[in-house]
Amino acid sequence: MPASGRASRWGLRGFALGYLALLLMIPLGMIFYRAFEHIGPAFESITTPDALHAFYLTILVAAIAIPLNTIFGVGCALLLVRTNFRGKALINAIIDLPFAISPVVIGLALLLVYSRTGWFGGWLDDNGFQVAFALPGIVLATIFVTLPFVVREVVPVLHEIGDEQEQAARTLGANWWQTFWRVTLPAIRWGVSYGVVIATARALGEFGAVAVISGRIAGQTQTATIWIAQAFGNFDQPGAYLGAVVLALLAVSILVAMNLFKRKEAT
C-alpha cells in the first residue's frame, strides 16, 4: 500500500500541477514575454491619448460604480438579515441574477431601456441626459455585473455576528446611526472589504456588457478592455499584450488584497 499510495499521490500532484501550468501559469507568463518582445512599439501604443483615455475611463467607471454598490450592498444586506418583509426571497433571487446572465445580454437589456429608441432613452436624451453610448450607460452596466458581490459577502457575516451587540448598544441609548457606525460596521469590515475587492476586479475587467452599451468610440467611450481587444484586432499585438499585462498586474494585486482580507475575516 505505501508504494501504490506514493504513486497515486505523485499522479494526482502531477495532474493538478500540469493542469494549472498548461491552462494558467505558462499562458500568463507568455503574455509578459510577448509584451516585452517588442516593448518599444508596445509602449508607444499604450501611451497614445486614446489608450490612456481608455484606462482613465475604466478607473473612473469603477470609482463611481463600486462606492454605489458598496452602499447598496451593505444596506441591502442589513435589510435582508435584520428585518422581515414580504418579498424578501424575491429580492434575494434578483440579487443573484447577474451571476446567471451573459454580459452581452446585460448590455442588450440596458440598451432596450436607455438607448434613444428604448423605453426611457428618448425622454432622457431630450432632457440632456444621454445614458447609452456615454459614461452613465457604462456605469449602469458595471453596477449590474458587480451587484451581487458586496451583498453576498456581508450577508453571512451579519448572520454570524448576530445582533446581541447591536441590541446592547441600542439599550445603552445609541441611535441607529451610532449603532451602525460603532458596532455593526467594524464587525463586518473585512467582509465588506473582500466584497469591494472582488467587485473592483470584476468592474475593471468587464467587457461584454460595456462593449454593447458603450458604443466603443475611441477616445470617448472605449474602456481599457475594449481598447485591448480593438488593438489586437487592428494588428497592434504588442500594444494589446502590454495592455493585457497592465490589467493582469492589477488583477494580481487585487488577488493579493483578496487573500489578505480573507485571512483577516477568518481571524
What residues from 133 to 162 belong to the interface with another protein (CB under 8 A)? Answer: 140, 143-144, 147
**Contact status, residue 147 vs residue 69, Cβ threshold 8 Å:** yes
Using the contact rule CB under 8 A, the part of the chain among 42-50, 122-130, 173-181, 186-194 near another protein is 173-181
Closest distance of CB 20 from another protein, Å: 7
Under the binding rule (CB under 8 A), the answer on residue 75 touching another protein is yes
Closest distance of CB 68 from another protein, Å: 8
Under the binding rule (CB under 8 A), the answer on residue 26 touching another protein is yes
Under the binding rule (CB under 8 A), the answer on residue 118 touching another protein is yes
CA angle 184, 186, 189 (to 5 degrees): 105
Nearer to another protein, 53 or 114 (CB): 114
Most distant CA pair in the chain, distance: 78
Closest distance of CB 144 from another protein, Å: 5
Quickly count: other Cβ atoms within 10 Å of residue 39's Cβ. Answer: 12
CA distances (Å), origin 166, targets 72, 79, 91, 177, 186: 20, 14, 24, 11, 12
Closest distance of CB 220 from another protein, Å: 18
Under the binding rule (CB under 8 A), the answer on residue 170 touching another protein is yes
Closest distance of CB 257 from another protein, Å: 9
Under the binding rule (CB under 8 A), the answer on residue 181 touching another protein is no
Closest distance of CB 44 from another protein, Å: 19
Among 31, 48, 199, 265, binds another protein (CB under 8 A): 31
Using the contact rule CB under 8 A, the part of the chain among 45-53, 122-130, 169-177, 185-193 near another protein is 169-177
CA distances (Å), origin 136, targets 59, 65, 74, 114, 252: 14, 10, 23, 10, 28
Under the binding rule (CB under 8 A), the answer on residue 36 touching another protein is no
- Number of H-type helices and E-type strands within the chain: 14, 0
With both helix axes pointing from N to C terminus, report the angle between 185-205 and 135-161 in degrees, rounded to the nearest 10: 150
Q: How many residues are there in the chain?
A: 267
| Region of residue 128 (phi > 0: left; psi between -120 and 50: alpha; otherwise: beta) | left
Under the binding rule (CB under 8 A), the answer on residue 217 touching another protein is no
